[in-house]
Amino acid sequence: MRRFFVSVILISSLLITGCFFQQKEYSDTRFLMDTLVKITVYGQNQKALETATTEAFNVFKSVADASDSYEEHLPDDLYTLNKKAGEGPFKVNPTLLDLLTKTEAFHHKEINLALGKVIAIWQAHGQTKTVPTKAEIQAALLSTKSGAFTINETDGTVTLAPQASLDLGAVAKGYGVEAAANALKKHPEVESALVNGGGNIKVIGTKKDGKPWRIGIQNPRDNKKLLGTLSLTANMAVATSGDYQRYYEVDGVRYHHIIDPATGFPARHTISATAVTTSAYVADYYSTLLFILPTEEAIKLVESTDDLEAVIEDAQGKIYVSPGLKDKFSLAK
C-alpha cells in the first residue's frame, strides 16, 4: 500500500512538471527597417527561447541591410547597386537577389521596384510639406519604365539602366518577417511565436490556450480605434497597407507613401488594404498591390487567387471582406 501511494505521488509530480509544465514567454523589440519589430516566442526553455529570438533578429537585420536603399551596409547591398546604375552587371547579395527575383516573378505592373527616383522626390517634398509638379514626376517616371533593370539569376547579377533606382519598401518588411519566422521554426524549443514587423505579422503554431491568434486592424481614420479584428490560425500571415501610415497634408489633401506607378502620385482608390495568406512576404506584396488597384479589380484579384483573403476599405468608406474571412473577421462596433 505504501509503494502504491509513493507511485501516485511520483506520477502526479511528473504530470505537473511534465505535460502540464507552464509554458514560458519571451519577447524582444528592436528598431529595424525604420519600424519597431517585435518577436514573441513561447516554449519550455527560457534560454533556448532567447537564443532563437536573437537568431531571428539577426536574420531580419540581414534582410534589412541587404534591402536598404538609403544607407550602405554591405559591399553588395541595394544602396551600392543603385550607385552602380548604368555601369553594367553588378553581383548582388544573395538575399537581395532572391527578393528581387521573387517579386518580379509576380508580374503585376502596379508593383514597380524601380520607383526609387519618384519616391525620393516625394520624400524631399514631404520635408517641406510641398507637392511636386507633374513635370517633375513625369521626368522621374522615365527611369521606371520597362527595362529599368534586369536580373541574371545564373550569374547572381542585376543590371540597372542609367538613372534607374530601386526601392523595396513594398515587400522588404514582409520578406524580413517571413525570414525571421523561418529562423524560429528551426528551433524545436519554440512551440509557438508571433513576429510583428511594423504591422507585417506572421504567427507560428497555436496559442497555448488553443484559441486563434487575434490581430487588430487599425481604423484608417482614427488611430485610437480598430477597423476590426482578425482570427488567425497556425502559420498564417497578415499585412496592411494604408494611407494613414506615412503621409503629410497640403491644403487638406493627404499625400501618402504608396505610389501608383502609372501616375507617380499617391494611389487614391483605397484607404486601407489588408492581405491574409500563409507568407508574410506574399501578404506584404498583396497588401500594397490591392491598395493601388481600383477596388473592383482588387476584389476580382482576391477572389481569383488561391490562398489569398483580404479586407479592403475604399475611398468612400465601403468595406469589403473576402468570403474566406467571413467567420474570421469581426468589424469593430
67-108 residue pLDDT tens? 999 999 999 999 999 999 999 999 999 999 999 999 999 999
- Other CB atoms within a 10 A radius of the CB of residue 17 amount to 10
Return mean pLDDT, the chain. 92
pLDDT at 290: 98
CA distances from 25 to 20, 49, 194 (A): 15, 8, 11
Label residues 98-111 b or e (16+ Cβ within 10 Å = b).
Answer: bbbeebeeeeeebb
Instruction: Tell me the three state secondary structure of residue 149.
Output: strand
Residues in Cβ contact with 159 at an 8 Å cutoff, skipping those fewer than 6 apart: 88, 89, 90, 149, 150, 152
Q: Which residue has the cell 488561391?
A: 306
Cell digits of residue 181: 519566422
pLDDT at 22: 72
Q: Encode pLDDT of 108-142 as tens digits.
A: 999 999 999 999 999 999 999 999 999 999 999 99
Task: Choose among 237, 212, 215: nearest CA to 227.
Answer: 215
Q: Which residue has the cell 541587404?
A: 66
Percent of the chain with pLDDT over 90: 89
Label residues 65-81 b or e (16+ Cβ within 10 Å = b).
Answer: bbbbbeeebbebbbbbb
Q: Which residue has the cell 467571413?
A: 326
Q: Encode pLDDT of 217-239 as tens digits.
A: 999 999 899 999 999 999 999 99
Decide if pLDDT at 17 tops 70.
no
Please state the φ and ψ torsions of residue 304, each to the nearest 5 degrees.
Answer: -110, 0
Instruction: Tell me the three state secondary structure of residue 171.
Output: coil
CA distances from 249 to 102, 137, 253 (A): 34, 18, 5
pLDDT at 208: 78
Label residues 153-190 b or e (16+ Cβ within 10 Å = b).
Answer: eeebbbbbbebbbbbbbbbbbbbbbbbbbbbbeebebb
Cα(159)–Cα(156) distance, integer angstroms: 10
pTM for the predicted model, two decimal places: 0.91
Please state the φ and ψ torsions of residue 297, each to the nearest 5 degrees.
Answer: -65, -40
Cα(133)–Cα(302) distance, integer angstroms: 34
pLDDT at 153: 97
Are 305 and 264 in contact by the 8 Å Cβ rule? The answer is no
Q: 246 versus 149: which is more confidently predicted?
A: 149
The amino acid present at 162, given as its one-letter code, is P
